[in-house]
Amino acid sequence: MTELLSIILAAGEGTRMRSAVPKVLHPVGGMPIIGHVARAAREAGSTQIALVTGPKHDAIRKAVTALHPDVVHFEQTEAKGTAHAASMARDLFSTAMGYVAVVYGDHPLLRGINFRAVLDRLDAGLDVAILGFEPKDPSGYGRFITDGDTLLAIREHKDATEDERRIRLCNACILAFRADVFRDLIDKVETNNAQSEYYLTDLVGLANAAGKKVGYGLAPENDVMGVNDRSQLARAEGLFQDVRREDFMKAGVTLKDPKSVWFSYDTEIARDVTVEPNVVFGPGVRIEEGAVIHAFSHIEGAHVGKNASVGPFARLRPEANLGEGAKVGNFVEIKKAEIGKGAKVSHLTYIGDASIGAGVNIGAGVITVNYDGYNKHRTVVGDGAFIGSNASLVAPVTVGAGALVASGSVITEDVEADALALGRARQVGKPGRAKEIFAAAAAKKQAKKDK
């Protein structure tokens, strides 16, 4: 396979987002926009990825490194245009073999197939291939000036004539070159334009002038939409979710109300899973076959085993792990805990930093008291144990297999297997005392009125 260096440009400030967060770090489907671009570059077969950012973009560099540790970083200290930004990656493209693709970093719906639309043209013999599309409204986009299949130039909207602005075929977000052609032309770009900047798109005209073969590939409009403001961010999220919903339903997942279910980029759901309305899947979720996710549940960083049941109104936080046939019911929160095969945590309960064995029954209102103000501690409940309602298990503590914890107990010491544990005050009854208390209260109230 031909070597591919992808240079991602993310040095812009994105001021139209009106945010302290850099534009390309705003998430779509739970992943930063720039992460989607890098992922698409990987899908296309990139052997190296360069990221060009601005001087105040440490957060961008850290976010991309977390997703792709081998990305090589470069900095554009002065904003002089896209060609100038791409030239910052000279240390890589000066020795690159094969192809160089330059891509803008604010396109969250980009896919590897969009890269292939231009890379395949290079495979077919072109020296330069630019990705194009036909938007419903071409205003603001650079226009393709063509002669048949040959791309003669890209005219930025501000520099285009009225006739050129009528052209529907527009510049998208990927420019691909044979590496030697890119090296030869990148430093020949000049600033003869309305912005007095070094335009990457000027490489098209330069390549034609040098006798190179220049053409283009095409992409659907939705795939190449850029994000510049909050409205476009919301639209990108909506388009992303629509694609994910369709993909899951085609794969055998039942979505009772597709529009109300929200997925992350890495959500994994097996066939014959049923998802009821108003469910949110955060990053890092895997759902096994036959599970049911009831309405109004929120799941993040969790695994739900085969035929398990979650919700309604349940919250699974990171490292929640539900075994086969387990049940987590309404108003239950699970965090960093294993819920064993067939175990039931039915309602109004918090289980954190715990291991709950197979077949355990956790009553309503049970709490694992896992935090002492400084450290988290673990609770272990053995197979087949029964934890009565409103019990508090003060970690670190172990309840043995088959044990019974009486309702309302506060358990601070380990419970042996098959033992009964009671950790509550003895009930005391005082005949007639309630009547005396109520009478005294009524008299006090009447005395206030008499004054």
Active site residues: 347
Q: Do β-strands 27-28 and 4-10 pair in parallel, antiparallel, or remain unpaired?
A: unpaired
Which one-letter amino acid corresponds to residue 17? M
The DSSP call for residue 265 is T
- Kindly calculate the radius of gyration of the chain based on its CA atoms and give it in whole angstroms: 31
Alpha helices for 89-215 (secondary structure H)? 90-93, 112-123, 162-165, 179-185, 202-209
d(CA 27, CA 439): 63
d(CA 315, CA 396): 23
The count of other CB atoms within 10 Å of the CB of residue 181 is 22
The DSSP call for residue 284 is S
Longest dimension (CA), the chain: 106
Q: Which two tokens stand for residue 365?
A: 């209102």
- In terms of Cα–Cα distance, which of 225, 215, 204, 7 is closest to 101? 7
Tell me: cis bond preceding 312? Omega within 30 of 0 counts.
Answer: yes
| Element of type H or E holding 387 | strand 386-387
SS3 157: helix
